[in-house]
Amino acid sequence: MKEAAPTLGVTLQVIDIKIPDDLPAAFEAGRTAGAQGVLTTAESIFRVARARVTELAARHRLPAVYPFAEIALENGGLMAYDLSVREVHRSAADYVDRILKGAKPTDLPIQQPTVFQLVINLKTAKALGLTLPPTLLARANEVIEE
């Protein structure tokens, strides 16, 4: 992110969060610095404290993008870009099948996810006063409207 931000004309402010109690101060620091949005990483704290993170983003009126689809689906987050859990499970089942047929686990290649999903919550976008481009909505795998 640090390398990509300048090429996109974005100023990146990284705030270290170790425990959920650090979240309010982090959002306040972002507000003080003039943040215009939030991008959370895939650290487990953002999954564990997802309701608190989305509540703070809404309170500070900051659009936020999350790496876990359930944050947008269940907690009112604006957007999530996540790996396809269905595809990961399918791939795991393929590995189990290969092992049961005699393949040695050490001979199987390590794989990275290749299928991702974009979830957009239009209800949250409306609450933030955002109009999202039709091209972005067309790319979404799921759009939450209610």
Cβ contact 92:140 at 8 Å = no
Q: Considering only CA atoms, which of 114, 115, 123 is closest in space to residue 143?
A: 123
What percent of the chain has pLDDT above 70?
100
pLDDT tens digits, one per residue of 102-118: 999 999 999 888 889 99
Q: Number of structural domains, the chain?
A: 1
- The structure tokens 């999903």 sit at 117
Asked whether residue 1 is domain-assigned, the answer is no
Asked whether residue 95 is domain-assigned, the answer is no
What span, in angstroms and rounded, lies between the C-alpha atoms of 112 and 20?
Answer: 29
Q: For position 101, what pLDDT does the model report?
A: 97
Asked whether residue 90 is domain-assigned, the answer is no
For every residue of 62-126, which 3-state class applies, written as one string? CCEEECCHHHHHHHCCCEEEEECHHHHHHHHHHHHHHHHCCCCHHHCCCCCCCCEEEEEEHHHHH
pLDDT tens digits, one per residue of 64-98: 998 888 877 788 889 999 888 888 899 999 999 99
CATH code of residue 62: 3.40.50.2300
Q: For position 21, what pLDDT does the model report?
A: 93
Q: What's the domain range around 73?
A: 16-84+116-144
Asked whether residue 27 is domain-assigned, the answer is yes
pLDDT tens digits, one per residue of 123-136: 999 999 999 999 99
Asked whether residue 61 is domain-assigned, the answer is yes
Asked whether residue 107 is domain-assigned, the answer is no
Q: For position 135, what pLDDT does the model report?
A: 96
Q: What is this structure's pTM?
A: 0.78
* Ramachandran region, residue 113 (left: φ > 0; alpha: ψ -120 to 50; beta: rest): beta
Asked whether residue 96 is domain-assigned, the answer is no
Decide the pairing of beta strands 38-39 and 64-66.
Answer: parallel
Give me the chain's average pLDDT, please.
90
